[in-house]
Amino acid sequence: MKRISQSLTDPALNAAPYPFYDRLRQMGELVFWEEFDMPVASSHAAVSALLRDKKFGREGPRFDVPDYLEAFYAVEAHSMLELEPPRHTRLRKLVLHGFTSRRIKTLAPMIEQLATQKIDAFPQGNFDILEHFATPIPVLVIARLLGVPDSMADQLLRWSHAMVAMYVAGRTREIEEQAAQAATEFTEFMRSYINERRTTPADDLISELIAAEEDGDKLSTDEMITTCILLLNAGHEATVHSLGNGIKACLETGHVPNESTPIGPLVEEILRFDPPLHMFQRWAKCDVEVFGHDFKKGDAVGLLLGAANHDPNVYKDPHVFEPNRSGKVHTSFGGGIHFCVGAPLARLEMEIALGTLFQRCPKLRIAERPEYKPAYHFHGLSKLIVCAD
């Protein structure tokens, strides 16, 4: 297997990782990325196959958790994203009782109202559309879905940012301690809120999760807490980046929602062209040979979702933003049993938010050079200064 070295904090990589991915694909289906200390897959075929291969899973080798990180990993212990069947199957079935397509569709008027309110409050002149539009809408949507007051949105964001920082390159002891503290506070808040909903149910997801039942089985309080935290942390972070990356792509290419560019295909192309999550890790559940490489039980492999989405063997002119593109579905929501449970909500948010934005702000333009976060494997902007006048 060929090897490659590429710094995870390189600004060039985080701003435009696709040339690096092109090099990887030319080196083989699997290449050993030294900084990650594991093989990575970059072709659409390899990534798709490994997402669905039942000989790989999300439960990695056990390790001794430091005392100061116990609170963080106590939350992770009940996460659908980190579990395999039968625990994953049971948990996902129960969660989907509350996270139904019917409930998601009922959020559409609220999302449109939120988008309109944020647009009406845009500052005059140049402003950061991430701060004033892409960041607040997803967190308010999740808060209202859970039944949490809007006044908690800023605090939810602080907890989410602190915990998500555990998954990006270059984490430090300080970041770990902040994540553990956020996990402790978030857990305590959600526990009290769930207990309140047990006695006073409402029309919200928490009440639905409390009532959810499958073959006489119900979610434990710890499972509900983790599920709510996962919906916020995974859903918010990814949707913010998707909105920011999408606005940038639309403005740079001139492709905006209209009669010739329907919003549904446009959103799918945004998710293919510049997705928010670029690496999904899996571990071998047994000794297995894949794409010419022998994996031992417990060996890790990185699936480069952004690279798969730019595979020229699957997508014609993959580095071109083409909203009317047809062909294979992108890998941005993962695949197999861990396909993103929040995908329908993310699509709905993007379609409504972007459709409303470009309808209300036909003169919107980029005013300053966009800046990306130095945070592989999440891929998103840190600043997108625009002008709507």
Residue 287 per-residue DSSP state: -
> Is residue 389 assigned to a domain?
no
Q: How many domains does the chain have?
A: 1
Distance CA 144, CA 137 (A): 11
Say if CB 80 and CB 341 are below 8 A apart: yes
Q: Is residue 384 part of a domain?
A: no
Residue 327 lies in a domain: yes
Domain contains 377: no
Name the β-bridge partners of 33: 4, 38
- 97 found inside a domain: yes
308 Cβ contact partners less than 8 Å away, ≥ 6 residues apart: 41, 42, 43, 44, 46, 47, 48, 314, 330, 331
Q: Is the pLDDT of residue 282 over 90?
A: yes
143-165 pLDDT, tens digit per residue, is 999 999 999 999 999 999 999 99
pLDDT digits over 163-190, tens only?
999 988 778 999 999 999 999 999 999 9
Residue 31, pLDDT > 80, answer yes
Looking at residue 11, its pLDDT comes to 93
**What is residue 169's predicted lDDT score, i.e. its pLDDT?**
78
- Position 236 pLDDT exceeds 80: yes
- Cα separation values, 127 from 112, 113, 134, 269, 370, Å: 21, 21, 12, 26, 12
Separation of alpha carbons 127 and 116, rounded Å = 17
Asked if the model's pLDDT at residue 88 lies above 80, the reply is yes
Examine the pLDDT at 215 and tell me if it is beyond 80.
no
Q: Is 145 exposed, middle or buried (0-12, 13-18, 19+ CB in 10 A)?
A: buried
pLDDT of residue 101: 86
Q: Is residue 385 part of a domain?
A: no
pLDDT over threshold 90, residue 275: yes
For residue range 321-365, list pLDDT tens digits in order.
999 898 889 999 999 999 999 999 999 999 999 999 999 999 999
Confidence category of residue 128, pLDDT binned at 50, 70, 90: very high
Cβ(264)–Cβ(298) below 8 Å: no
- Reported as a pLDDT band with limits 50, 70 and 90, residue 216 is confident
Q: Is the dihedral of CA 317, 319, 320, 323 positive or negative?
A: positive
Q: How confident is the model at residue 254 (pLDDT cuts 50, 70, 90)?
A: very high
Give the pLDDT of residue 260. 80
CATH number at residue 259: 1.10.630.10
Residue 259 banded pLDDT, cuts 50, 70, 90: confident
Structure tokens at 306: 């952004």
What's the Cα-to-Cα distance from 91 to each of 59, 87, 359, rounded to whole Å? 15, 6, 40
> What is the chain's mean pLDDT, rounded?
94
For residue 67, is pLDDT > 90?
yes
Residue 170, phi-psi category: left (phi > 0), alpha (psi -120 to 50), beta (remainder): left
100-118 pLDDT tens trace: 888 899 999 999 999 999 9
Average pLDDT over residues 229-246: 93
**Distance in angstroms (rounded) separating the CA atoms of residues 241 and 245:** 6
pTM as predicted: 0.95
Which range marks the domain in which residue 86 is found? Answer: 3-369
Say if 381 falls within a structural domain.
no
Contact 129, 253 (CB under 8 A): no
Angle between helices 136-146 and 153-164 (to 10 degrees): 110
Residue 248 has pLDDT above 90, yes or no: yes
pLDDT-derived band of residue 246, with 50, 70 and 90 as boundaries? very high
Highest mean pLDDT pick, 133-142, 226-235, 369-378: 133-142
In a domain, residue 18? The reply is yes
Closest CA to 206 of 91, 345, 98, 340: 98
The C-alpha atoms of residue 308 and residue 52 are separated, in whole angstroms, by 14
